[in-house]
Amino acid sequence: MPKLRDIIDRIKGEDLHQKLNESAEGSVCTEKTAALIRRAGAEGAVLLKNERNTLPLRQGEPVAVFGRTQIDWFFVGYGSGGNVLSEHRINLQDGLEQDGAALDPEIKEYYRSRCAKQKKKVYDWGKWPFSLPEAPVTREMIEAAAKRAETALVVLGRCAGEDLDMKDEPGSYRLTKEEERLLKLVSGAFKKTAVVLNTGNLIDLSSLINDPAIDALLVCWQGGQESGLAAADVLTGKVCPSGKLAASWAEFSAYPGMEEFTGPGEADHYTEDVFMGYRHFDSHRDGLIFPFGFGLSYTAFTFAAGTFTRENGSVRFSAAVKNTGACAGRETLQLYVRPPEGAPLTLIDYKKTRLLAPGEEETLTLSAADGMFASFDEKKHAFVLRAGEYRVFWGTDALTEAEAGRFTLKEELLIKQCAPLDDGRAFTAPEACAPSGVPVTVQEIEAGLASTDGLLAALTDEELEYLTHGEGYMESELGVSGNAGVMGGIIPSLREKGLRPLVTSDGPAGLRLNIHTSLFPSGTLLACTFDDALVEELLACMGEEAAAVGADIVLGPGLNLQRNPLNGRNFEYYSEDPLLSGRMAAAAVRGIQSAGVSACPKHFCCNNKENGRKYNSSDVSERALRELYLKNFEICLAYSDPLCLMTSYNRINGVSACYHYPLVTGILRNEWGYSGLIMTDWWMIYEPSPYFPALKNSPARIRAGVNVLMPGNRSQRDKKVHNDPETLAALKAGTLTRGELEKNARYLIELQLKLDGRRA
């Protein structure tokens, strides 16, 4: 009964509805950042259809642009991940004008005055609109415009967000009657019609794709503050599109596991198991509209396969990519493995060319270690390559049939032996540090005059407890205005010992503060660039903004897999594929942290649905966890070193992520060796530990390995700083030990040492 629970949570002030920041001062956005946001916005746009060379628009030729979204453009999705107060935002109409497009003046003016008259509403958390009602149009108006211009653009917009999954309804996942009418009238009257989609989620495309009167389709996603300009760059041909889909685009009924997602139950059974996304569509092509990895260009490429090898536990393949078209462009090569029966097609590497001028060629070499396509055997608790034939494919989307090479394993090959999931039975509490009686400060540790052990031993039990949670609430006065809360030096006695308040700020589309900061492209758009280096360079700008305003921890990137097109937070996330998600997240972490602040990849793990997110259980096999929903995090950690990480709200196989000892301590800490700080998502749920019967709530969370509860207090209404009596009681009763609290606090002290070291 999630609804009743939600009501009770609301009454107790324990719901997840946040107050959004509404006004800002100053600005930290630089020209360099704005230029990179624009570049990324254009690089991530995906051209899905382009009959009769409808796009790019010809210079000087008039174009009539229809649809309210050209002005009421969706720059980002809703919720904590979208609440960035940028100083300026450029919508598509303005972007097209700036890029010199010859917009039909009457139609332009109609939308301008119509949208200006619309009252700007303020919506409650989670009650935001998926789309805005279309401005009415008449047949006469359209037919008159078609006499003035040969080409029309129809701009459609969709938006979802945190606590707001899309619905399989008109205006949300489906087109409305008004939108369909607009498309019909416009495409019937104009010689050429292109549709521009401005959305955070995939939506129903069937009517657009099957309609021969719709000549072109460009998906611009939600590209942040410059996104109208970025979209215009592609539409006018300033930039040749090179974005590729980061998720399979199919008819609604073709996605596996949809019944579960839309159903009212508290548990989502991941019945498709490892066959999610293109792994499913590889063998079920009915209903698939555009495959993962797909995207057209204005230019043309030819490919020449080079050598394929499998040596020393890895495959390697190279191919030459030549631009044989008329304009400069980029192409992305993708390498897939189809293992023997029973294991899915898997993307194992991708690479994008530099900008190739017409006639220019680049040879790309793609490679992957065997581990990238190993299957997890639940009985053996091991990643293995099963005996049989492995075929390696290369191409520009997941449907590629171009074989790079193949190899056969006569016997099963062990790739990595894991332990059975650790249920905590063998848990032993760590020893407490020996007290020296000498006071120690963080600065003394930094100067090499004292040790962390010394500081830990000198902390009182109460001080150690204060290091297990944040100050209590968001918008702390100890940090920059509009922050998401602070941890560390939250009381005077800790500050006297040199622990400073470490300030958090959302993420991932920019800093969510009461300062004008830059609004970056959504995760989905970034993934569609398939360009790790660009993402790293761009996200370094976010890190620099964080350093400039004094935010220590950026709450992003978000890297949950886009298991289902309806998930409201898909815009924050990258892809349905763990390799693409993991590498993008790693690039974001490297970028953010290059400025001396911490990133915080989130939400670990299986946060794939918003409705009822606090109580949902993602019921998923260990194999699917290992191959998909943990793999993205594992890859992110392999390619970057995030100083912090956030758990999710949802349960995994019935256990809330912040109490999940097997996943947090067993896998993240012990198996993968993650040594950064782990925090909860904001306001965890309060429950007994399923692994340690004597523990519940924060003591159970600390034992599970989740170091800091954020923002700290149980209720959003509680604005006081105080100890959690349950943790102190557990300490007194001996069900939680001082050694555990010291071990926990060490992560926080080390985080400050690392941050101070990077800034010095």
Task: Write down the least CB distance from residue 682 to ligand BGC, Å.
Answer: 4
Q: Are 461 and 482 in contact (CB under 8 A)?
A: no
Q: Are 375 and 339 in contact (CB under 8 A)?
A: yes
Residue 493's nearest CA partner among 530, 520, 522, 455 is 455
Binding positions for ligand BGC, 8-37, rule CB under 6 A: 16, 18
Nearer to ligand BGC, 244 or 569 (CB): 569
- Binding ligand BGC (rule: CB under 6 A), the pick from 336, 682, 691, 747 is 682
Q: How far is CA 23 from the centre of its chain?
A: 25
Task: Write down the least CB distance from residue 683 to ligand BGC, Å.
Answer: 8
Residue 273 binding ligand BGC, by CB under 6 A: no
Nearer to ligand BGC, 63 or 684 (CB): 684
Task: Write down the least CB distance from residue 138 to ligand BGC, Å.
Answer: 44
DSSP-derived letter for residue 524 is: H
Q: Are 147 and 124 in contact (CB under 8 A)?
A: no
Task: Write down the least CB distance from residue 469 to ligand BGC, Å.
Answer: 14
Residue 445 binding ligand BGC, by CB under 6 A: no
Residue 681 binding ligand BGC, by CB under 6 A: yes
Residue 555 binding ligand BGC, by CB under 6 A: yes
β-bridge pairing 192-199 and 249-250: unpaired
CA 319, CA 477: separation in Å to the nearest integer? 56
Binding positions for ligand BGC, 456-495, rule CB under 6 A: 484
Q: Which ranges constitute the DSSP H helices of 595-724?
A: 622-624, 631-639, 661, 697-704
DSSP-derived letter for residue 342 is: T
Task: Write down the least CB distance from residue 718 to ligand BGC, Å.
Answer: 16
Q: Which residues of 640-654 are buried (b: 16+ CB within 10 A; e: fewer)?
A: bbbbbbbbbbbbbbe
Nearer to ligand BGC, 66 or 78 (CB): 78
Given the residues 681, 718, 724, 756, the one annotated as active site = 681
CA 524, CA 529: separation in Å to the nearest integer? 9
Residue 245's nearest CA partner among 562, 631, 608 is 562
CA 121, CA 498: separation in Å to the nearest integer? 46
**Window 304-343: contact mask with ligand BGC (x via CB under 6 A):** ----------------------------------------
CA 353, CA 296: separation in Å to the nearest integer? 15
Task: Write down the least CB distance from residue 14 to ligand BGC, Å.
Answer: 13
β-bridge pairing 655-656 and 651-652: antiparallel
- Binding ligand BGC (rule: CB under 6 A), the pick from 94, 179, 233, 506 is 506
CA 710, CA 645: separation in Å to the nearest integer? 12
Residue 128 binding ligand BGC, by CB under 6 A: no
Degrees, nearest 5: CA angle 606-607-611: 135
- Return the amino acid letter for 754: K
211 is catalytic: no
Query: Which residue has the CB atom at the shortest distance from ligand BGC?
Result: 80
Count of residues interacting with ligand BGC (CB under 6 A): 10
**Window 68-87: contact mask with ligand BGC (x via CB under 6 A):** ------------x-------
Binding positions for ligand BGC, 626-645, rule CB under 6 A: none
Residue 552 binding ligand BGC, by CB under 6 A: no
- Binding ligand BGC (rule: CB under 6 A), the pick from 38, 500, 563, 602 is 602
Residue 604 binding ligand BGC, by CB under 6 A: no
Phi, psi torsion values for 173, nearest 5 degrees:
-70, -30
CA 486, CA 504: separation in Å to the nearest integer? 6
Task: Write down the least CB distance from residue 600 to ligand BGC, Å.
Answer: 8
Q: Active-site residue numbers?
A: 681
| Contact residues: ligand BGC, CB under 6 A | 16, 18, 80, 484, 506-507, 555, 602, 681-682
